Structure 1
Amino acid sequence: MTFHPGQSLAEAVRAAESVLSEAGVPSPRVDAELLADHLLGVGLGRLRAMLLGDSPAPEGYAELVAERAGRVPLQHITGIAYFRHLELRVGPGVFIPRPETESVVQLVIDHLAGTDHPKMVDLGTGSGAIAGSLAHEIPGSEVLAVEFSPLAYAWAARNLEPLGVSLVQGDLRDALQEHNGTFDAVVSNPPYIPAEAIPQEPEVALHDPPEALYGGGADGMELPTAAAASAARLLKPGGFFVMEHAEVQSAWIAGMMRRMGCWEDISTHVDLNGKERATSAVLAKKPTDQ
């Protein structure tokens, strides 16, 4: 099925679904509808009702579908990524938040349940998805976020300012020295892909910024190791740390944290797909006490 002038919305969406499916887009029907709604702005419920009638296709729809068929991320086309309860502004230069990371946020929320005015930091915040969700969902909390990339920092600033998150441009390895030993929780989704591993999805390989993907070193573990060290520096004794990682890295990260000698209750957590996605721990003692 192809596009032609005077098509109805239903015909155009069916054509878009066909084009996107042939291009290998993982969710062709959903993306076809979301692109149509991006132009119409009626919401998916109303859009699907319109598909039952003879509403005309929106102008410019075929061009957006062609972009998506070229494997430009949907979020770059619409400028929006949805994460938990947030609508985030995203675009070139910032890592697009993934649904798998939503469970990492939940681990922090669950651990801090009953804590009055918790102080938290997100190391390597990217778009601000984690930090913004914590601020939004934990009333009375104080949330800081650290981002190194100037481009990602600009996106994070746009997303986090309305939520009252304090954003710092800096390196997760040494940022926030003036806050050492003051946080109730530290969370991080650092870059962790090994140097030689090229992501298979074109949306990731061609459009996510490399500095948000590759963790440093042949095994990709330089930045995750640094995030764990910074967490130990920043947390109060008894503070909670959780870090996202690739499913194949959980044993390595748990071992690394055990060797640090300052963590207890080291636990691996699975995501919604049942894959080992995050490791958490509680700071038993400050590293200087070892």
Structure 2
Amino acid sequence: MSRQPLRLAILEATRLLEEAGVNSPRTDAELLAAHVVGVERTRLGLVPLVDPEVIETYRGLVARRAQRIPLQHITGVSSMGEIDVEVGPGVFVPRPETELLLAWAIAVLEDCPARPPVVLDLCTGSGALALAVAHARPDADVHAVELDPKALSWARRNADTRALDGDTAITLYQGDVTDRALLTDLEGRVDLVVSNPPYIPEGAELDREVAEHDPAVALFGGPDGLSVITPMVSNIARWLKIGGALAIEHDDTNGGQVAALLRERRVFGEVAEHPDLAGKPRFVVARRVATEAEAARRA
């Protein structure tokens, strides 16, 4: 059988995905095609014709995406910064919005006087954020915490892969980021804390890809989305050294509340809210500016 136009298959896939309610049908159709033929999405035009077996494989993947299985579960990878990490059932799929938090974190580390800077990623999931920081700053001493054992296994797999690729190893821990006894050896030593914790308020309406495939433990943060963030703030205060910085991602409905939590703890200053790619409130940053004793005197 003769070779077939890939462009026509992509057009058909776009139509099917649109009918299935996929939010970005053309983009996903092209990304799946690029995955099947093994090229970058931008180079699909260089592959005008493919074998019938390729079209058959492609249609099978498109059918899975039409069932609202996450694109990243089908391709097996998700991007963060300059790296890819493996993802699949049992782990939260990193979102493009977190790229903005990553960019902020890397910029902060550029001005950090500590060598090596100590970085702590809370609720690391697949390890994407911690590993992206380690890739961008090979001199950093990066630690990452995850509660869910399934997610932690993905993080360990990704950490092993990045180490084989030559990136600096990170240190992984299983633990509850709200536990006051967690990582006491890092108290007062951390230069930067980053976190993409569970923050969706319970009862929120979610896309099928999220509701049916992302683990609930990585999504929901109690009735107001703050059940993890609120106690985590106290731990961040004890881990950060004076001058250390933090960034916490949050739901677009509670950015002001997260900022208020940090301002109420007088050990923090320079509190600022940052929007995501859609202009919605997405993460809050601050610095540790005082000891507990100094903060008490200011109260």
Equivalent residue in structure 1 for 2:170, among 149, 152, 165: 165
Task: Tell me, in whole angstroms, the C-alpha distance in 2 between the residues paired with 1:45 and 1:250.
Answer: 36
Contact 1:9 1:55 in 2 (8 A): no
Mapping 1:1-290, distance limit 5 Å: 8-51=5-48, 53=49, 56=52, 58=54, 59-115=56-112, 116-161=115-160, 162=163, 163=167, 164-174=169-179, 175-199=182-206, 201-216=207-222, 218-287=223-292, 290=296
User: 1:159: Cα distance to partner?
Assistant: 1.4
Amino acid at match of 2:86: R
Task: Tell me, in whole angstroms, the C-alpha distance in 2 between the residues paired with 1:54 and 1:114.
Answer: 50
Question: Is the partner of 1:112 in helix, strand or coil?
Answer: helix
Q: Tell me the percent identity.
A: 43
Q: How many equivalent pairs are there?
A: 283
User: 1:193: Cα distance to partner?
Assistant: 1.0
Task: Tell me, in whole angstroms, the C-alpha distance in 2 between the residues paired with 1:108 and 1:124.
Answer: 16
Write out per-residue CA displacement over residues 203-242 of structure 1, whole angstroms, 9 at most, x where no aligned residue: 11111100000012x2121101122111101111221111
Amino acid at match of 1:240: A
Contact 1:233 1:287 in 2 (8 A): no
Question: Is the partner of 2:120 in helix, strand or coil?
Answer: strand
Contact 1:10 1:54 in 2 (8 A): no
Contact 1:81 1:90 in 2 (8 A): yes
Contact 2:225 2:254 in 1 (8 A): no
Task: Tell me, in whole angstroms, the C-alpha distance in 1 between the residues paired with 2:292 and 2:178.
Answer: 15
Task: Tell me, in whole angstroms, the C-alpha distance in 2 between the residues paired with 1:132 and 1:50.
Answer: 33
User: 1:6: Cα distance to partner?
Assistant: 7.6
User: 1:285: Cα distance to partner?
Assistant: 2.3
TM-score (norm 2): 0.89
Write out per-residue CA displacement over residues 56-76 of structure 1, whole angstroms, 9 at most, x where no aligned residue: 461322221111001000000
TM-score (norm 1): 0.92
User: 1:131: Cα distance to partner?
Assistant: 0.5
Q: Can you give the 5+ residue segments of structure 1 that lack an aligned partner in the other structure?
A: none
Question: Is the partner of 1:172 in helix, strand or coil?
Answer: coil
User: 1:288: Cα distance to partner?
Assistant: 6.0
Contact 1:215 1:221 in 2 (8 A): yes
Contact 2:259 2:284 in 1 (8 A): yes
CA RMSD of aligned residues (A): 1.8
Amino acid at match of 1:28: P
Alpha carbons of 1:288 and 1:130: their partners in 2 closer, same or farther (altered >3 Å)? Answer: farther
